[in-house]
Structure 1
Amino acid sequence: MKLYLDPGHGGSDPGAHGNGMNEKDITLDIALNIRTILTNYENVQVKMSRTTDQTVSLTERTNQANSWGADYFLSIHCNSFNGSAQGYEDYIHSSLSDSSQTAKYQDTLHKAIVDLNQLNDRGQKKANFHVLRESSMPALLTENGFIDNEHDGALLKKPAWRKQVAQGHVNGLVKAFNLKRKQEGATIIYRIIAGSFKSKENANDRADFLQTNGIESFVGAITISGEQWYRVQAGAFSDQENAEKRLNEVIKAGVKDAFIVKEKR
């Protein structure tokens, strides 16, 4: 699968601005994380419209994707609206039907991203954006929160959150294109679980509580016995001793039922 990955804006075009951040920096970081995660999968080629803070025109982006013969065009953005709006939304071109292949890809990526991003779900939308109109392959543009909103901006500032958003995009790509992980030697990962909840709101409250105590955490969806739960993870380590140290920090913060999950990769 050939993915053309497009971090929105860049160089002389900062994009949206808010809470001391420029959109061009956030989109680049998310996109670079997507590229890094995808190195773990077989038969995936990634070409990026930019890998640094450089100016690239919209026409250059779509021309490059088209001439390269990309299978999918994924454009990463953030939103802004006077600080009053918040949440995540994504777009395909307005000419496409809900039964098109592009719309089916949108369905898959949308669900995977909102499962992990801790943002309000503003839905799946259509628009006549240049990168959606002029790309000759299926294309999706994602708007990852409102940079000028207090809630969304606080998340956008966190490197761990941006990595998690990247993981959501990759999860969608993996499902949409049936990507397979590279076969490597097994490693052990120790994950610190700080609660599992039926309510996403309750899970977000637990993650926010940990963040206020200086412990990076995020919420991920997981299926248990056929039911969806929202699990709060407060770290993942390849070293058991480091995992146990983090577990003690979480317990001292007040989450007495936290525990370690041992996973083999």
Structure 2
Amino acid sequence: MKKTIIDAGHGGEDPGAVSEKLREKDLTLKIALYTEEHLKNNYEVEVKMTRRNDVFVSLNERARIANRFKADLFVSIHINSSINGTGFESFIYTDTGEQTLQFQKILHKEIEAALVAEGTFKNRGLKTANYFVLRKTNMPAILTENLFIDLDAEYLSSESFLKNIGVAHARGIAKCLNLQEKI
């Protein structure tokens, strides 16, 4: 059975990006839990979360969890921050294999389609970065930046919007791993 790690960015004393009313750590956890729920309810897959509540998990421990689990895919969920930024982007490690790039394209397309269904959002593209969790995991790893906490707060405050983004992550993961649907 295929295995995936869902990593809700930040947590505990690390709030991530913040706005007047929102904290990244809360939003990423909600999206991650919706992702897990949709995967478990609809596909034959083992899912492990790096965190299930508001606790701090170091970057090193997040990579260790994924590597010990021997996951087939690692997905780290984040929200961007900038006073004038908007849109969606995804990242893979700068020096990675073709499979990771293909997985990034699949996941990015699925999330982008969900965002387009919700409104008009800028596609900020498929990018590479030297992020710790992308570099230190031993499997294909993708980090998603799901809108901006400042300018996209109206959307990010909607529970149904967060659920749709979580479901889009799940559908993308299922396509990447060719998961069998439950009957």
Q: TM-score, length-normalised on structure 1?
A: 0.66
Amino acid at match of 2:177: F
Query: More helix per residue: 1 or 2?
Result: 2
The match for 2:54 is 53
Question: Could you say which residue in structure 2 is the equivalent of 1:173?
Answer: 173
Q: CA deviation at 1:173?
A: 1.4
Query: Residues 40 and 181 of structure 1 are in contact (CA less than 8 Å); yes or no, is this contact kept in structure 2?
Result: no
**Cα deviations by residue, 1:210-264 (Å, 9 ceiling, x for unpaired):** xxxxxxxxxxxxxxxxxxxxxxxxxxxxxxxxxxxxxxxxxxxxxxxxxxxxxxx
Moved over 2 A (4+): 40-43
Residue 133 of structure 1, CA deviation:
0.2
Aligned counterpart, 1:91: 91
Higher relative contact order (CA 8 A, sep 6+): 2
Separation in structure 2 between the aligned mates of residue 146 and residue 32 of structure 1, nearest angstrom: 20
Question: Is 2:113 the counterpart of 1:115?
Answer: yes
Q: Which structure features the higher share of strand residues? A: 1
The alpha carbon displacement at 1:6 in A equals 0.3
Match of 1:131?
Answer: 133
Is residue 161 of structure 2 the alignment partner of residue 161 of structure 1?
yes
Is 1:70 aligned to residue 71 of structure 2? yes
Instruction: Show structure 1 runs of 5+ residues with no match.
Output: 184-265
The match for 1:145 among 140, 143, 147 is 147
Aligned length: 178
User: How far is the alpha carbon of 1:123 from its aligned partner?
Assistant: 0.5
* Aligned equivalents of 2:4, 2:68: Cα separation in 1: 13
In the superposition, the TM-score normalised over structure 2's length comes to 0.94
The alignment partner of 2:42 has SS state of: coil
> Aligned-pair distance for 1:175?
1.5
User: What's the CA shift for 1:42?
Assistant: 3.7
What amino acid does structure 2 have at the position aligned with 1:45? E
Larger Rg: 1
Over 3 Å counting, the alpha-carbon distance change for 1:122 and 1:128 in structure 2 is same
Match status 1:101 vs 2:103: no
Aligned to 2:34: 33
Residues in 1 aligned to 2:43 and 2:84: alpha-carbon distance in whole angstroms: 42
- The runs of 5 or more residues in structure 2 that have no matched partner are none
Contact 1:19–1:147 (CA<8 Å) still a contact in 2?
no
- Shift of residue 25 of structure 1? 0.1
Aligned position for 1:252:
none
